[in-house]
Structure 1
Amino acid sequence: MAGRIIPIMPAMPPDGGRQRLRRWAQAGFFVLFVLAPVFNLLRFDLVAGHAWFLGFEWHAGLEDFSAGNIGALEAVQRVIGRVLLPILAAGALLIGVSWRWGRLYCGWLCPHFSVVETINTFMRRAIGKPSVWEPRTLPPREPDGTPVHYDRLWWLVTAPLAVGFAFVWAVVLLTYLLPPFQVYSHLLAGAPSRNEFIFITAGTVVLSAEFLFARHLFCRYACAVGMFQSLAWMGNKKAMVVGFERDRAADCATCYSACDHVCPMRLKPRNIKRTMFTCTQCSQCISACATTQRDNPNGPLLQWVSGEAARHNEAAFSAPKQERKTREE
């Protein structure tokens, strides 16, 4: 009798572990988002009247101007050098990354988007849809064939989870403005100050509504960081994009449009780039295609492409229209 083979490590998923890596990146950045104020990595202290960056006090330098030690011109130079230029540099870095790779920050790091995806998962189990505005129920299975059972009782998890995330966000945002240890000590003692209570209560109510009903809409239309990334990405025809092998479209018949169903932004990944304006490059559609086509010797139909391949990918969508136009003429 042949010996039994006991696997030491789990088999690599069809997407090469891309989604596993992305989840770790999201989790790590969420922890950073929560702890950054605690360790003074980045915050503005309204009590002290100055910012903190990487553990050091960051002053605009206007104290000397108030004391009469420097003139107006030098005060302006300090504001430009210590405030405006660092902000512009951070913005340029974000735009530069977006120009080449799209909204990678949104899909791989953004703490808000990780909340969006988490609530999507639980809301789908509650109502069969990742959003209350979704017109149709999704197929009750994952791309790998694992069944998903829908039950309204999942609302007992979904709603408290959304409110819990909202509360955490409200508290964390407050620590970016007030001394974190003051905020947390007041909460642990059950005696927040009047202003702290108002901020946390209002933030929890507003964010709860947003997480439950408008989280996708916020990412699409209200997030300035996401909007600027999308504009930069759309301006580069050679930027990284989800490419679709159109000449193999017949292979999609063996699938149930899994790439459409897994998209957390509710987009159609096989469509042209301009309809994918808010794509976060989370690559869930690529992973879903790799899973459903794992037995296809030709491989998946969706993959990241850039450079000339990205330009060609868009041209492939417009070619059939041009052919029809030529025949009509």
Structure 2
Amino acid sequence: MGGVSPASWLPGLIQIKPLFLTAEYHSKSLGYSLVTVTKPHMSLSLQHKRHLFQAGFFLLFVLAPPLDLFRFDLTLNHFILFGRPWTLGIDQLVAGEISSTEAAANIFLRGFLPLALAAAGLIWIAWRFGRLYCGWLCPHFSVVETINRLMFRASGKQSIWEKSPQPELQPNGLYMKPDRRFWPLTWLAALFFAFLWAVSFLTYLLPPFEIYHNLFHFSLTGNQARFIGAGTGLLFIEFMFARHLFCRFGCAVGVFQSLAWMANNRGMVVGFDRSRAKLCGECNNACDNVCPMRLKPRSIKRRMFTCTECAQCITACETVQKPFARQTLLQWVEDEAAIAVATGRPVTSQKPKSQPVP
């Protein structure tokens, strides 16, 4: 396949070799039948690597303010970036220390340009590879998955709004029965993360060590206590009752990534080998069950609008098929092979080349 594969785009990070499938077109399906895999199986350590990235970025989210990597100090009225003040020069302009030309240059170079580059980079990555940030880095999605797992252990459902429990049979062949004793742990985890997030948000606005000192000595100011209390309460409600809704429709970063991704029919997407769909009859919809966003991975692209590219569905399918020495029915595809998933129509263009194995 042409273009840049996501596997080759992340070699220094997760070191996944290209695993994309060759496409052979059939008009009776969505337009292709995934028949050839350049490598027999995706490494099952993929999810472990993803969790390491999530944990690392979550720690960065919490520790960035106390390490002065990035925060906005309301007491100083400017940003701090890598331990140094990051100002637009407005105060210097008012004091007559710099000219209006220098102030305009500061606003462009220190304000507009970094924001534009960051936004453009995020949108381009989303356009090409989908919501990779959400599935691999986002600290909120890390909490979503954690609460999902705990709630599943407690009730057999990943959301309290689901009508019926999921199958007890897991992709690895083990049975997991709901255990109500996990409910207190679920509530405590949601409360803990809500409190941690509220405190972290406050440290992005006020000197972090002042907040930590006041917190540990029970000497928070009225405004600090109200901020942490209100933030903890609202985040607890969101984590327990609306975390999926927020990821789908409430998060501006996620929505814009989805919109950019949907605009590119050749962008990376989970492809389903419809020529072997009968094998799904031997499975209990494991790919659907594990999806943290509660999507149907075997659907066309527009029904996976909020897919976070976490690849849990791919790993689940691979796990189910591995004991039978069969190839996974789900796999990341891109370029020509992704068009059929995106449009739901047969592809009539030239058959794409298989991804080379490095």
> What is the TM-score of this pair, normalised by structure 1?
0.90
What's the offset of the Cα at 1:172? Answer: 0.5
Gap runs ≥5 in structure 2: 1-40, 348-358
2:66 aligned to which of 1, 26, 38: 38
How far, CA to CA, are the matches of 2:342 and 2:221 in structure 1?
56
- Alpha carbons of structure 1 residues 280 and 41: separation in structure 2 relative to 1, 3 Å: same
**1:4 maps to which residue?**
none
Does residue 143 of structure 1 match 2:171? yes
What's the offset of the Cα at 1:319? Answer: 4.5
How far, CA to CA, are the matches of 1:110 and 1:239 in structure 2?
20
Does residue 165 of structure 1 match 2:185? no
How far, CA to CA, are the matches of 2:42 and 2:339 in structure 1?
27
**1:219 maps to which residue?**
247
**1:9 maps to which residue?**
none
**2:51 maps to which residue?**
23
Question: In the TM superposition, what whole-angstrom CA distance separates every residue of 1:224-270 from its partner, at most 9, and x where no partner exists?
Answer: 00011111111111111001011110011111000000000000000
1:109 aligned to which of 137, 140, 146: 137
1:255 aligned to which of 280, 283, 301: 283
Q: Residue 229 of structure 2 aligns to a residue in which SS? A: helix
8 A contact 1:289–1:302 mirrored in 2: yes
**2:322 maps to which residue?**
294
Does residue 99 of structure 1 match 2:127? yes
8 A contact 1:103–1:229 mirrored in 2: yes
What's the offset of the Cα at 1:32? Answer: 0.7
Deviates more, 1:15-24 or 1:290-299: 290-299
Q: Residue 171 of structure 1 aligns to a residue in which SS? A: helix
Structure 1 vs Structure 2: percent identity of aligned residues? 53
**1:325 maps to which residue?**
none
What's the offset of the Cα at 1:46? Answer: 0.5
What's the offset of the Cα at 1:314? Answer: 4.0
Superposed counterparts of 1:216-295, under 5 Å: 216-295=244-323
How far, CA to CA, are the matches of 1:313 and 1:158 in structure 2?
36
Q: What is the one-letter code of the residue matched to 1:142?
A: Q
What's the offset of the Cα at 1:126? Answer: 1.5
Q: Residue 176 of structure 2 aligns to a residue in which SS? A: coil
Superposed counterparts of 1:116-195, under 5 Å: 116-195=144-223
What CA RMSD, in Å, does the superposition of the two structures yield over aligned residues?
1.6
How far, CA to CA, are the matches of 2:346 and 2:317 in structure 1?
24
Q: Residue 294 of structure 1 aligns to a residue in which SS? A: helix
Q: Residue 332 of structure 2 aligns to a residue in which SS? A: strand
How far, CA to CA, are the matches of 1:148 and 1:62 in structure 2?
60
How far, CA to CA, are the matches of 2:346 and 2:88 in structure 1?
55
How far, CA to CA, are the matches of 2:212 and 2:64 in structure 1?
14
How far, CA to CA, are the matches of 1:51 and 1:156 in structure 2?
40
Gap runs ≥5 in structure 1: 1-12, 321-329
How far, CA to CA, are the matches of 1:40 and 1:29 in structure 2?
16
Question: In the TM superposition, what whole-angstrom CA distance separates every residue of 1:49-90 from its partner, at most 9, and x where no partner exists?
Answer: 110112221111111121133455543332222112111111
**1:305 maps to which residue?**
333
How far, CA to CA, are the matches of 2:98 and 2:305 in structure 1?
48
How far, CA to CA, are the matches of 1:106 and 1:39 in structure 2?
24
8 A contact 1:15–1:291 mirrored in 2: no
Q: Residue 345 of structure 2 aligns to a residue in which SS? A: helix
How far, CA to CA, are the matches of 2:317 and 2:324 in structure 1?
11
1:318 aligned to which of 345, 351, 354: 345
8 A contact 2:340–2:346 mirrored in 1: no
8 A contact 2:321–2:328 mirrored in 1: yes
> What is the TM-score of this pair, normalised by structure 2?
0.83
Q: Residue 141 of structure 1 aligns to a residue in which SS? A: coil
Q: Residue 265 of structure 1 aligns to a residue in which SS? A: coil
How far, CA to CA, are the matches of 1:46 and 1:314 in structure 2?
46
**1:85 maps to which residue?**
113
Q: Hey, which of these two has a bigger chunk of helix by percent? A: 1
Question: In the TM superposition, what whole-angstrom CA distance separates every residue of 1:4-60 from its partner, at most 9, and x where no partner exists?
Answer: xxxxxxxxx974311010011101111111101111111101011110112221111
8 A contact 2:302–2:342 mirrored in 1: no
Q: What is the one-letter code of the residue matched to 1:228?
A: F
2:83 aligned to which of 55, 71, 87: 55
Q: What is the one-letter code of the residue matched to 1:279?
A: C
Deviates more, 1:135-144 or 1:182-191: 135-144
Deviates more, 1:287-296 or 1:62-71: 62-71
8 A contact 1:15–1:286 mirrored in 2: no
Q: Residue 310 of structure 1 aligns to a residue in which SS? A: helix
8 A contact 1:15–1:290 mirrored in 2: no
8 A contact 1:14–1:294 mirrored in 2: no
